[in-house]
């Protein structure tokens, strides 16, 4: 039998509301799965956020994106996108070029090394996804996606 959140965190009193239990369960799930993802990527010398940026830039080829567009598309927003991109540029995964027409605009594109890193990660990421949540059926996954979407958009 599966442990409840209350059992996992050894809480002896009931939650104050169903909403509280749902939010804490969501936080706990995100933490457990996030930790597993971080462990997987660490073996490749990359963080989940860096992988997210690389995937965003792979999808924006050949034009690339500016810093704020990348920040807007991140799954987990970070406070300093510029420093994140600095580290990725130092690693050789991205290239930033200032526009000749508008010097304020800096385009970020993925490099061949960045593409190679993603190619190395593509299959391990698919396998990790299967390992982490592949035990859920297709209908359960669709229901989970729908519920999480509704939770994010209260309107």
DSSP for the chain, please give it.
-PPPHHHHTT--SPPS-HHHHHHHHHHHHHHHHHHHHHHHHHTTT--HHHHHHHHHHHHTTTT-EEHHHHHHH-SS--S-HHHHHHHHHHHTSEEEEE-SS-TT-EEEEE-HHHHHHHHHHHHHHHHHHHHHHTTS-HHHHHHHHHHHHHHH---
**Mean pLDDT along residues 92-96:** 97
**Structural domains in the chain plus CATH codes:** 22-152 (1.10.10.10)
Does 100 score more than 90 pLDDT? Answer: no
For residue 13, pLDDT beyond 80: yes
- What pTM was estimated for this model as a whole? 0.86
């Amino acid at each position: 039998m599966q442990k409840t959140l209350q059992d996992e965190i050894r809480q002896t009193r009931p939650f104050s509301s169903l909403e509280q239990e749902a939010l804490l369960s969501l936080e706990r799930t995100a933490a457990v799965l996030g930790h597993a993802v971080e462990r997987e990527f660490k073996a490749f010398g990359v963080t989940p956020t860096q992988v997210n940026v690389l995937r965003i830039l792979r999808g924006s080829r050949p034009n690339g994106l500016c810093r704020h567009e990348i920040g807007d598309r991140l799954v987990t927003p970070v406070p300093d996108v510029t420093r994140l991109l600095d580290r990725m540029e130092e690693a050789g995964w991205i290239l930033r070029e200032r526009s000749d027409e508008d010097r304020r605009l800096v385009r970020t594109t993925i490099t061949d090394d960045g593409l190679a890193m993603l190619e190395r990660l593509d299959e391990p990421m698919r396998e990790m996804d299967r390992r982490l949540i592949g035990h859920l059926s297709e209908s359960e996954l669709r229901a989970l996606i729908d519920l999480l979407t509704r939770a994010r958009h209260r309107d």
